[in-house]
Amino acid sequence: MTPNIAAAKAALAHLDIEEKETNIRASSRDFFWYSPVLKARLDHVVADFVVRPRTEAEVIEVLKACYAHNVPVTTRGAGTGNYAQAMPLEGGCVMHLRHMTAVKEIHPGRVIVEPGCLLKDLDAATKEHSNQELRMVSSTWSTATIGGFIAGGSGGVGSCTWGTLRDLGNIIRLRVVTMEEEPRILEFHGKDLERVSHAYGTNGIITEIEMPLAPAYDWVELFVTTDDFMDAARFADQLANEDGILIKLVSVFEAPIAHDYFQRVKPHVEPGSNVIALMVAPHSMDGFLTFLDQHPGAALIYRSDDHNWDRTPGAIFEYGWNHTTLRALKVDPSITYLQVRYAYPDHLDLIEKMQKQFSPELLQHLEVLREEGKVMFAGLTLVKFTSEERLEEIMKLHEDAGAMIFNPHRYTLEEGGRQIVDDRQLKFKQEADPKGLLNPGKMLSWDTPDFDFKSIYSHPRIQAAE
């Protein structure tokens, strides 16, 4: 199949097409460079053209024209994803959904929205309408789209209470356009959502989203310190298990992360301070302060509604999730990260073991989340990068110890995920994208059906890309 770029472009010339090379290059990149492994291999990746449809009808036009001329299509929300999710590995068309931002309907407990709407704009609309907000958002709330969050994200601020996007009920409905000669529009609910959510846009384009909402609050943002790292981890775990205290964020940073990488926090902590960042509902503050009293090793150093800091730290969630890595990278470009799942019930033991084994080469950054009702942790561990071999050895040692790794140094869905082939996503791709033109290269089971996940490090494609 040879793509005919010129013919596809000519067929779409009446749409909003980007011609400037620098803009095409910028729209071909995401935050892949967090990974030194991906940075070394994917820096050259660039689309042939960028098109910005305004409506679902225009999305269909783009897909139809690209199908007819064998042109790959990689969809872009805001390009804040890691893992090179939004990068057009085989060139072709980047379809940027920045114009599709309408908030269509708001009801008690749910909202219907177009995919290009920024998370912050969606929250602003639902808050203004009826004091509601999304249950969970990426920490890139101010820049990322709701479509990109569903197709590429996993959870984030709010996951300590609501779980992650893959939990039943956290997405209500997706409307999806297929990549066929005559694109079809399909609606997914319930269990079927797994076929298209978190699929990096490899098997359909999401054009409408229905999401559940929660009551909005003016969350109180707090920093707490402890001298001992495991005290901080246990504090976070116990707080998240207090059923009556409503929280939206619990992040734990091993010393000296806060001192070395959080510039506005630095004047208020020691190098040895372990820090916990929190968002607590205002009406839960009495409960929280009582909880704090029961933990004499923990000190409250900041609360957003009552403080004497000269410079406020800004939005506290922009210290957590993958913003921690960003802050560290800005100070020390040799930092990269791991994504680790510390599952209930062994999460605290495992964290302690990894912290003892690897600190300070690795510094623990933990995010509390709930899985099947149980409190556990995601680790977005900071790594002082030395070599790819050492990075792989570190991941292997985590796996050997029983901690699952979501490899952020790979660009395929399977390697960045649970290292299993998702048959439902693959089957839907066979049906919805028969030519394999949607975000090519990202679904391992499509390109290499017999790939065996004995090891997460060995996929020939990434090795061959050197």
Ligand X SMILES: Cc1cc2nc3c(=O)[nH]c(=O)nc-3n(C[C@H](O)[C@H](O)[C@H](O)COP(=O)(O)OP(=O)(O)OC[C@H]3O[C@@H](n4cnc5c(N)ncnc54)[C@H](O)[C@@H]3O)c2cc1C
Taking the least distance from each CB to ligand X, the nearer of 139 and 355 is 139
Residue ranges in contact with ligand X by CB under 6 A: 30-31, 74-82, 85-86, 97, 115, 138-140, 144-145, 147-149, 151-156, 200-201, 205-206, 321-323, 326, 439
Q: By C-beta, is 213 or 298 nearer to ligand X? A: 213
Nearest to 337 by CA among 36, 112, 107: 36
Instruction: Report, in Å, the least distance between residue 152 CB and ligand X.
Output: 3
Q: Which is nearer to ligand X, 28 or 82 (CB)?
A: 82
Give how far Cα 383 sits from Cα of 68, 325, 377, Å.
45, 9, 18
Contacts with 162 (C-beta within 8 Å, 6 or more apart), sequence order: 135, 136, 170, 214, 370
Q: Which is nearer to ligand X, 321 or 385 (CB)?
A: 321
Q: How far apart are CA 286 and CA 282, in angstroms?
A: 8
Are 250 and 157 contacting, i.e. CB atoms less than 8 angstroms apart?
no
3-state helix, strand, coil in the chain (%, to 5): 35, 20, 45
CB atoms within 10 A of CB 147: 26
Shortest Cβ distance from residue 411 to ligand X (Å)? Answer: 10
Using the minimum distance from each CB to ligand X, give the nearer residue, 291 or 319.
319
CB of 197 to ligand X, least distance (A): 9
Q: How far is the CB of 8 from ligand X (least distance, A)?
A: 18
Closer to ligand X by CB, 30 or 433: give it: 30
Q: Write down the least CB distance from residue 204 to ligand X, Å.
A: 7
By beta carbon distance, the residue nearest ligand X is: 148
| Amino acid, res. 96 | H
CA distance 426 to 449: 10
H or E stretch covering 402: none
The residue among 262 and 321 lying less far from ligand X, judged by its C-beta, is 321
| Sheet of strand 335-337: strand arrangement | 335-337, 382-384, 362-363
CB atoms within 10 A of CB 315: 17
Shortest Cβ distance from residue 437 to ligand X (Å)? 13
Comparing CB distances to ligand X, the nearer of 234 and 429 is 429
Minimum CB separation of residue 139 from ligand X in Å reads: 4
Shortest Å distance, C-beta 74 to ligand X: 6
Q: How far is the CB of 236 from ligand X (least distance, A)?
A: 16
- Shortest separation between residue 362's beta carbon and ligand X, angstroms: 19
As beta bridge partners, residue 274 has: 226
Q: For residues 437 and 72, is the Cβ–Cβ distance under 8 A?
A: yes
> Rounded to whole angstroms, how far apart are CA atoms 209 and 118?
13
Nearer to ligand X, 170 or 284 (CB): 170
Residue carrying structure tokens 């409960």: 287
Closest by CA position to 412, among listed 463, 378, 365: 463
C-beta closer to ligand X: residue 85 or 425: 85
CB 58, CB 116: distance < 8 Å: no
Contact, 398 vs 338, CB < 8 A? yes
Q: Which two tokens stand for residue 116?
A: 């290009």
Q: Which residues pair with 206 in a beta bridge?
A: 176
What's the min distance (Å) between Cβ of 367 and ligand X?
8
- DSSP string covering 136-185, please? -B-TTTTT-BHHHHHHH----BTHHHH--TTSTTS--EEEEE--SSS--E
The two structure tokens encoding residue 92: 């072709």
Distance, in Å, from the CA atom of 299 to the CA atom of 277, rounded to the nearest integer, reads 12
Q: Are 354 and 399 in contact (CB under 8 A)?
A: no
State in angstroms the smallest separation of the CB of 150 from ligand X: 7
